[in-house]
Structure 1
Amino acid sequence: MTTHSITAETRTDMQNSSLRTLRQNGRIPAVVYGLDTESISLHVDAKEMLKVARTGRTEMFNLKLAGSKDLSVIIKDFQKKNGQLSHVDFLQISANKPLRVRIPIDYQGVAKGSLLGGVVQHLEQDIEVEGLPADLPTSIEVDISHLDMGDKLGANEVKLPKGITLISSGEELLLASVTAPRSVIEGDAEAEATEEAAAPAQTEEKE
């Protein structure tokens, strides 16, 4: 995994007017929560932050802070306003300590059942896994091409990268399914109702 770096500066003025000024000057307010340090309020360059954010929220990178050693962090959370990053929370991590995170799912392929008119449903957008920071992927590919009409795909069926363990509840967590179109379901229901209504009449005729 490539380790990116981003330079940060500490901030002491927490007034709303100061935060607006930072954003107007191309800076993003942020906080880093540490394993061996108290939380630090800082700000980072918006353009640098966007480059890191595009690589995936689970990717580890170096946070360079003046007067302090580099911190290994991931993006814990972020907020947006009017489509732009407005605040970022970083989490300091240890390269040798497993980390539990939710990783986005990248669905691959065209479900077999969809070619027959089935409706593909993506029931989850991410799954929780655990692994060393260097082993965590930015997304997990899930192949759905083998799903036929009526099939369901559980989290336990996903092939995870080496060193990554599934935390989400295996068979209980459904990721995707292929269902029949509503028109087909309604048509089958009407047919069953017609058959049930006709059954008593046929019995009376035999008597």
Structure 2
Amino acid sequence: MEIIEILGYKRANLGKAESKKLRINAQVPGVLYGGQEQIHFYVPMVLLRDLIYTPNAYFVDLNIEGVVYRCILKEIQFHPVSEMILHVDFLQIFDDKKIKMEIPVAFVGKAIGVAKGGVLSKKQRKLAVFGYPKHIPSIIDVDVSNLDLGNISRVHQIQTEGFTILALPSTPVASIEIPRALRSAASKEEKKGKK
């Protein structure tokens, strides 16, 4: 798993007025929990960009005034109108504690059904996984090369090593849709064959 380093600063004063001041100065208030104590901090908004506006999953080395905490982004709050980042929550992680995390899905291979004119439909962009940090992958590869027209790839077909996917085994991940034009051509051929 790739790691992003983010620099943060401890917050002396808590409360709505203080949070508002921070946001005006392009700083985002946040909380780090999961360790021995909760740590209230703030980080420059610009430093969160690579972590938030990406489909990728990352571990974070949160450096708060020289002390580095390995963590993951747990929750983020946006302003409903301006989309400005209002607050971030990080969860400190430890090698001996399992974590739950959303991991992006990558579709690999060229599906047989696509070569025949079908369309690859990506049903899941991310999957929630559970495991020890060292086993959490940065991407879940889903091989679609064997998918023919009308076939579906499901969660139980994904190879996992040291982690569990937190979705029903029957959950569809990808399928090969048959376009209407291809369907009508097939039914015309069928009708011809019956004559």
Task: Please classify the TM superposition score into its range, dividing by the shorter chain length.
Answer: 0.7 to 0.9
Pairing partner for 1:74 from 72, 75, 84: 72
| Aligned position for 1:182 | 180
Instruction: Give the 5 Å matches for 1:65-144.
Output: 65-66=64-65, 70-81=68-79, 82=82, 85-144=85-144
2:27 is aligned to 27
> Is residue 14 from structure 1 mapped to residue 15 from structure 2 by the alignment?
yes
Alpha-carbon deviation of 1:118?
Answer: 1.3
Task: Work out the CA distance in 2 between the residues paired with 1:58 and 1:118.
Answer: 30
Q: State the partner residue of 2:166.
A: 167
3-state DSSP of counterpart to 1:146: coil
Kindly state the Cα deviation for residue 56 of structure 1 after the two structures are TM-superposed. Answer: 7.0
Q: Which runs of 5+ in 2 are unaligned?
A: none
Q: How has the CA–CA distance of structure 1 residues 108 and 21 changed in structure 2, closer, same or farther, with 3 Å as cutoff?
A: farther
AA at the equivalent of 1:29: P
Please state which structure has a larger fraction of its residues in helix.
Answer: 1
Deviation, structure 1 residue 147: 1.2
TM-superposed CA distance for 1:21, in Å, is 3.3
1:119-138 alpha-carbon deviations (Å, 9 max, x no partner): 22111122222221133222
Aligned to 1:46: 45
Provide the secondary structure at the position in 1 that maps to 2:147.
Answer: coil
TM-score between both structures, scaled by the size of structure 1: 0.73
> What SS is found at the alignment partner of 2:94?
coil
Q: 1:168 deviation in Å?
A: 2.1
Instruction: Give the deviation of 1:151 after TM superposition.
Output: 0.9
TM-score, normalization by structure 2: 0.77
Distance 2:137 2:55 in 1: 8
Offset of residue 175 of structure 1: 0.4
Residues 1:40 and 1:57: Cα distance change in structure 2 (over 3 Å): farther
- Alignment RMSD, CA only? 3.2
Unaligned runs of 5+ in 1: 196-207
Letter of the 2:74 partner, please give it: K
Change (3 A) 1:134 1:27: farther
State the Cα distance separating 1:142 from its structure 2 match: 1.5
Whole-angstrom CA distance in 2 between matches of 1:87 and 1:57: 20
Residues 110 and 57 from structure 1, CA distance in 2 versus in 1: closer, same or farther, beyond 3 angstroms? closer
**d(CA) in 2 for partners of 1:10, 1:132:** 28
Cα distance per residue 1:150-191 (max 9 Å; x no partner)? 11101121223x422333222x11101112112444666799
User: How many percent identity over aligned positions?
Assistant: 28
Shift, 1:14, TM fit: 2.5
Alignment size in residue pairs:
190
